[in-house]
Structure 1
């Protein structure tokens, strides 16, 4: 498996990015024989396309950003013959943890240098607004993503405004029902979370019966940085599901807000992209 030359993408606005962190990562890559031949800094530099990487004969694209930027980059690489190395450069880093375990970027770089990573394809959730590499949250609860944006930027006015809107939307927005196949409560949920980690869709339902539930969801998003840790109900698994609501369904795809229709179909697919993974995390 060819892994050189390597390009590196960093995002100074992401949670784990700093000049010191980028320097430590590039040093670790260089020590293992993978010194980046080019470093792209988002958003000053554009995300590279498959054609750009092919023209430069890049073998490995290392992405040291959060899950949202990773999602946007991978969407540009479908069909590329190189490998993508996901590094924990954001706040949650759920994809990096899935591929490598809960370790830092220099540790993963060292594994690359020792030849300890292998190429693999990953399942994803196909939606009308793109693929989710980690998860989709569908329903009024997806508006909590707007609060997280304010927290990330430490913008107090944005946090206050988004927090109020998230509480109102979660409490009063139209519920989302899982209709095909029928799963969970017929009246639906404040949010339905969907992932494809097990090679099929796995669904959880989130509700907010009172202010205590709303607070629990908020703590999970703002403090624990993981909505999945809030109170929820396991709904089951399926290859594809259709969700419906009386209003357009708000979506959060890999932490980024999107707008859906009143009926949304989600499918489990295999992405045409190869990721480098640590054996211990994926065995």
Structure 2
């Protein structure tokens, strides 16, 4: 029997937020997405509905919950779980988390951060023990992994609940302590940065570097193609954070900075290390 919350909030309806909403909807939870503007809310609804339509075509939809998209955070009242899925900007995330706590005083608060300190983000809450990291992976519907990140003040009982939620979503959870980059971003970014340096030094083409990992190590996608999917700007933000916290081995290569400055952010802009 599923123990998933019957009512879930997602603050932020971009690619990740829409994917998180999809994951809960197809398991029967009712989902409320909060966005910053009417246009953003409309785009979020379109993303989720398109994703659900694809699931229906594959016969993977089942009895979906109801979707509400709004710009009013007060609509989060009565939710059992609210996950923030806004960009990796500490101030923005802290402001959103404080808004969530005020709007949903009884809810568990989750953050989808891929690299920021859970304990630092918890400072935005009156009750820091309510916060847990739930790091989903892109694309959420197809990804099998969720990283459960435990801060030093996270309520231990919440960790047990989070593991059950992840299982009920049909995904595999790994539990990590709060540390820069956690497990996934720390490993994934380091590999991607070295691939970028190899490309910059003319060691091999992007296609051949990626083939080394997909064919030689059975990675589903190479580090450069994965960077295009994640977004070069996202990878740059994470790398800069890891450089500050873990040292120069995470220093972003010049090729990454140059592409981001030129607006070549990967799949979402049509060009990154590949043309999409």
TM-score of the alignment, normalized to the shorter chain, above 0.5? no
Bigger relative contact order, structure 1 or 2 (CA pairs below 8 A, ≥6 apart): 1
Higher percent of residues as helix: 2
* TM-score when normalising by structure 1: 0.34
Higher percent of residues as strand: 1
